[in-house]
Amino acid sequence: MSGLSIIYMNFDRANAQAEELSCLARDLRSINGDYEDCLLRIRAYWTGDNSKAFLEKADSVKNKVDKTASKADSAAQTISDIAEQTKNAELEAMELL
């Protein structure tokens, strides 16, 4: 396998991994949306001290899931950026040889 093929294979592999992370982030956001709908129904039908404590904890979990999704998106973008930079550097190095 030529050096050029390896460069593009590694680039494609890194981008595929970045896309998997992006898909996971989208899935987390989708689940979080369903979770929020559920919490809205709970707020409407359950009152009292226990419901307040539960909903505070549930909101905390929802916020953590949202932050995790954002971090996954950020990691995916970083992977894509580094893959592009690495590919360009390797192609440039091949031209110098």
Average pLDDT, the chain: 96
> Binning pLDDT at 50, 70 and 90, where does residue 97 land?
confident
Residue 95 · residue 44 · CB < 8 Å: no
- Take residue 1 and report the two structure tokens written for it: 């396998």
CATH of the domain at 18: 1.10.287.1060
pTM: 0.84
pLDDT of 14 > 90? The answer is yes
- Take residue 85 and report the two structure tokens written for it: 């930079």
- Take residue 14 and report the two structure tokens written for it: 């890194």
- Take residue 32 and report the two structure tokens written for it: 């979080």
pLDDT of 1 > 90? The answer is no
**In which domain, by residue range, is 67 found?**
3-96
What is the domain count for the chain? 1
